[in-house]
Amino acid sequence: MEQSEPTLSVIIPAFNEEKYLPRYLPSVLDSLRRWEHHSGLRGEVIVVDNRSTDKTAHLARELGSHVIYEPVAGIGRARNTGAAIARGAYLLFIDADVLFPAEGISKIVRVLDTVQCVGGAIPPRYEPTKIGIRLLVAAWALYRRFNGGAQGVTQFCTRAAFTEINGYRPDLFMSEDVEFFARLTRHGKRIGAPVRHLTGLWVRPSHRRFEQWPSWRMILWANPLTAHLFLSSRRFWRNWYEHTVR
């Protein structure tokens, strides 16, 4: 008998990703199919089209995902919109420009099934060519480490935990992923189900933001201190939401 509801829902926020979906989305779908084949369970992939003006929605459907539309710009809001219609007991949030490992979903579900935890993250592996950008990546890694956060390129959690901590903050336009994971971490500690970092696994995000601008501009504009000061400023982060660095 076919399973009536998916065990896992993969949620991908997307804004003008027509150049990237054909390269990156298949890696997520491949990982999902591998897990489904070996487990006999079922999952779903939801792409949240966040006001795209290109063929993002068309390509996402063509590649095999379910597409919904979120008219208000904001990655936290887009993730929450996807979670609101997701049917899985487990939620996996992945950025649209992330190369996902084939064994990723199998390992995530195994951890959520067998280990007492509220969720976790797979760390990203950035390999920028510019020295200044390498320093910026290291600064963000240090910031997340001391704030109990994890980068949102790949975060996962139980639906129960997501509901309990009220999801992502839609009023934050930067570091909403770090803030979400910090709350998830605190929630896990309170109930005795700590988060898990799958350090034996890596995801590979694109370098589009790091490589398009001069290093000095990225360091000045997107460092942890500046981000902290302007977390709720849509205007300050308009290049992320209106004129995305490509």
Q: If you write DSSP's letter for every residue of 202-213 in order, what string do you get? A: -BEE--HHHHHS
Residues in a beta bridge with 200: none
Map out the domains of the chain as residue ranges.
Answer: 8-241
Instruction: Report the length, in residues, of the chain.
Output: 246
Cβ-proximal residues to 33 (8 Å cutoff; 6+ apart), any chain: none
In this prediction, residue 219 carries a pLDDT of 74
- Predicted local distance difference test score (pLDDT) of residue 217: 73
Per-state percent for the chain, helix, strand, coil, to nearest 5: 45, 15, 40
Q: Tell me the sheet residues that pair with 10.
A: 45, 92
Would you state the pLDDT for residue 71?
A: 96
What is the predicted pLDDT for the residue at 124?
Answer: 87
- pTM equals 0.90
CA separation for the pair 208, 41 (Å, rounded): 35
Answer yes or no: are the C-beta atoms of 201 and 101 closer than 8 Å.
yes
CATH superfamily of the 8-241 domain: Spore Coat Polysaccharide Biosynthesis Protein SpsA; Chain A (3.90.550.10)
- pLDDT tens, per residue, the chain with 246 residues: 355 799 999 999 999 999 999 999 999 999 999 999 999 999 999 999 999 999 999 999 999 999 999 999 899 999 999 999 999 999 999 999 999 999 999 999 999 999 999 999 998 887 767 777 777 777 777 766 666 566 678 999 999 999 999 999 999 988 899 899 999 999 999 999 999 999 889 999 887 766 667 777 777 777 777 777 777 887 777 776 666 544
Choose among 108, 110, 181, 192: nearest CA to 148. 181
The pLDDT assigned to 101 comes to 97
